[in-house]
Structure 1
Amino acid sequence: MTAWDAAGGVLVVITLWLLSFPTVGQSPFTVSGSQDVYQAEEHSNITLTWLFSVTADMSDSLIIDVVYVEPLRMVFHYNHKRETALYPEEFYRGRVQCDPELARKGQIDVVFTNVTLDDTGTYRCFVSVDRHSNYTTCGLNVTAVSRQPPQENSSPAGRERIFCYVVVGVLFITLVTIYVLQFGFVFCTDWNQSSSSDLFSE
């Protein structure tokens, strides 16, 4: 672990610790989620959305943290006053996208691409403005991809192939039957002729 990773981890812990303290007076905003539980299939994409009301003077002191609750992992971090990494955790880099400009307008869309079973769990969105904070949680349930058993070939080409086999089989049986009948007719004719000759010779 590098010094930057250690510093980032300390920053995450301190930020969440500060946000956990209750604020004096009523919070001027409330964070709400569009869904309580999201469902996704493994290797698919899913967007977790949170909303909060925004006033004109909010964006200058806005801090947003989206965390995976257990084990604690920072998914997305935005601080308007500081240049910080939006995705501190290596686990989410390249798989998670969140537009800071849209977040400053009150809509936090965290887009997960190629979700895995390890993404299943509880996510918490913290929003802090001028020492006021609010948060809400949602769940994400990722299910494994169902593997269907191979189905029989029912394509038109397969049906045509089966039809050809049937036609060839019927023709073969017909030819064999004709050959047997011809052989039987010739045998009977020869036998009758030989029998007649024996009678006349006697």
Structure 2
Amino acid sequence: MKVGVVTFPGSLDDVDAQRAVRLGGNEAVALWHGDADLKGVDAVVLPGGFSYGDYLRCGAISRFAPVMDKVVEAAKGGMPVLGICNGFQILCESHLLPGALIRNDHRKFVCRDQLLRVENNRTPWTSAYAEGQEIRIVLKNGEGGFVADAETLARIEGEGQVVARYLEVNPNGSLNDIAGVTNERGNVVGLMPHPEHAVEELTGCGLDGLGFFSSLVERTFA
């Protein structure tokens, strides 16, 4: 598949995401925040970083980047979209995902190898994993606390929209230990930890993140 990776001013994990896309067996296509089209890609990754300097709120300005008009349109049409860390924040600001990401409850930036449990393997990004599989990937954020009102939280829990959950320790105060969620259709996924930093033995904490990118090859989604 052709997977577009968007670079915003302040993105810092875009090149890593492109490499992970290729290692997962896909073709990586560089997209710029000012692009007026998606260059014929089959899926999109919004990478981590500090887009537009995280001014106003994380992802609040990026949501209005020209390329995001096309991403929102494509996502609503069923295109697989993955937002990692800052990309997750952008997806929430774009109302493609429920909830919001706020400052960590301990008010400090956290960087650690984080154990997760895959709760939903029925998305284009998680089908390479078994439901309930425990994986360890890199986490690095200062505003990664997932929050939602009680009604929204009950809905995403009840409808299986939690994609991954923190184990061992909750690193940022996310409600219900939520590390990632999907939309109702299941094609849009937001994940606070960084799977693109766990795709090679030489760097990162192993290969547990590779499944987020190889999943696109293994299954076809309408």
Instruction: Give the alignment's TM-score, normalised by structure 2.
Output: 0.22
- Name the larger-Rg structure: 1
Instruction: Give the alignment's TM-score, normalised by structure 1.
Output: 0.23
Higher helix share: 1
